[in-house]
């Protein structure tokens, strides 16, 4: 089966062609970071309009690179949620229209299931069951993954997602958007022990997260050390970035180790934009090695939103027999545990 994947949940336009026998044939991504950077975050209306402009050229380019004719496409998988309603509608209407014109199936895919399955695109994919850490600008969740569609959320953020906290901390330090890479770059020149930021909710049982208090602590630290420019000096900014990043990644690593011990699994899968953070990868590998577990994650280009993960996830569900009626239906909010489990999936 050959599937065209379309991702338009937020500020990246992703297109890919995946073949169930040959693997990923081609993928392309257009990031809107430059469009939204001056606003310090995503402007939904601008995101939707940009998807309209970029989708068709990206589809044509990806089909050409994969040497795929429209008649070779067996189905189109698109992101149906969660995400920005306008952006989701652009991708869904586009995908459904193409499917109608080409006479093929179309299937709406859960965005976070796409992230969860992205490491399956690697040469050595993880095997079920495992614990998944989904960590991005909009989500921070720990998921008990027993099989395709068989999910149980065992921990999640009660307020800000980790990626959102990175964005807000970066804005406090007058860094560029998105905040995760900016904080990580500045932290490289930070002093290790100058500041000690709190590790939220690690001193109590459970697997939930909270980053709003850490955000407030960062804001107060910046205010306490500001100069006449309104910001701390350069070294202090780097030290704050180091302390903030260390607090976030240590909190995530502690909860992940706790989830592995609680479930008895030996595998952690990490996905989402924050999973590209080098320090987080290092710390997770160190912590999980102590309990005989290993961590899997996607290559960097598949950590952020992309069409490849949507094409792959859609292909697995289509192969397992899932289908949908023709109407366009998107879900800006969509609990992943509502997805139907598929016992006869090909994974």
136 is in an annotated binding site: yes
Angle at 30 between CA 25 and CA 34, to 5 degrees: 160
289 bridge partner residues: none
138 is in an annotated binding site: yes
285 is in an annotated binding site: no
CA distance 74 to 25: 14
115 is in an annotated binding site: yes
CA distance 291 to 287: 7
179 is in an annotated binding site: no
Rg of the chain over all Cα atoms, to the nearest angstrom: 20
180 is in an annotated binding site: yes
How many CA atoms lie less than 13 Å away from 266 in the CB half-sphere? 2
Which pair of tokens denotes residue 295?
């961590």
Collapsed DSSP state (helix, strand, coil) of residue 134: strand
Which pair of tokens denotes residue 326?
């023709």
203 is in an annotated binding site: no
- Sheet architecture: strand order including 75-81: 23-31, 12-19, 2-7, 75-81, 105-110
- Are 207 and 259 in contact by the 8 Å Cβ rule? The answer is yes
208 is in an annotated binding site: no
Q: Which residues of 193-208 are buried (b: 16+ CB within 10 A; e: fewer)?
A: eebebebbbeeeeebb
Q: Which residues contact 315 (CB under 8 A, 6 or more apart)?
A: 1, 3, 18, 20, 75, 77
Q: Which residues contact 178 (CB under 8 A, 6 or more apart)?
A: 33, 137, 163, 166, 167, 170, 273
11 is in an annotated binding site: no
167 is in an annotated binding site: yes
Residue ranges of the annotated binding site are 111, 115, 134-138, 167, 180, 277, 305
Residue ranges of the annotated binding site for Fe cation are 111, 115, 305
Residue ranges of the annotated binding site for substrate are 134-138, 167, 180, 277
């Amino acid at each position: 089966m050959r599937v065209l994947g379309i991702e338009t949940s937020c500020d990246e336009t992703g297109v890919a062609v995946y073949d169930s026998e040959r693997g990923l044939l081609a993928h392309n991504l257009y990031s809107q970071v430059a469009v939204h950077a001056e606003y310090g975050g995503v402007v939904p209306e601008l995101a939707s309009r940009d998807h309209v402009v970029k989708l068709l050229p990206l589809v044509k380019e990806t089909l050409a690179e994969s040497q795929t004719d429209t008649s070779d496409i067996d189905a189109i998988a698109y992101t149906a949620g969660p995400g920005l309603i306008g952006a989701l509608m652009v991708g869904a209407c586009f995908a459904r229209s193409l499917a109608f014109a080409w006479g093929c199936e179309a299937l709406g895919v859960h965005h976070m299931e796409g992230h969860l399955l992205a490491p399956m695109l690697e040469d050595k994919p993880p095997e079920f069951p495992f614990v998944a850490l989904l960590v991005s600008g909009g989500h921070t969740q720990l998921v008990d993954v027993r099989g395709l569609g068989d999910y149980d959320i065992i921990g999640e953020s009660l307020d800000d997602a980790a990626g959102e906290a990175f964005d807000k901390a970066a804005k406090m330090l007058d860094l560029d958007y998105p905040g995760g890479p900016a904080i990580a770059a500045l932290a490289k020149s930070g002093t290790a022990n100058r500041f000690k930021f709190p590790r939220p909710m690690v001193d109590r049982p459970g697997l939930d997260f909270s980053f709003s208090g850490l955000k407030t602590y960062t804001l107060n630290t910046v205010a306490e050390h500001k100069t006449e420019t309104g910001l701390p000096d350069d070294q202090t900014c780097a030290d704050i970035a180091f302390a903030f990043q260390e607090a976030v990644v240590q909190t995530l690593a502690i909860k992940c180790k706790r989830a592995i011990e609680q479930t008895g699994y030996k595998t952690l899968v990490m996905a989402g934009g924050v999973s590209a953070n080098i320090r987080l990868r290092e710390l997770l590998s160190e912590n999980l090695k102590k309990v005989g577990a290993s961590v899997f994650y996607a290559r960097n280009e598949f950590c952020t939103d992309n069409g490849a993960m949507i094409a792959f996830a859609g292909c697995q569900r289509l192969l397992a027999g899932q289908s949908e009626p023709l109407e366009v239906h998107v879900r800006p909010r969509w609990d992943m545990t509502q997805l139907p489990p598929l016992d006869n999936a090909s994974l």
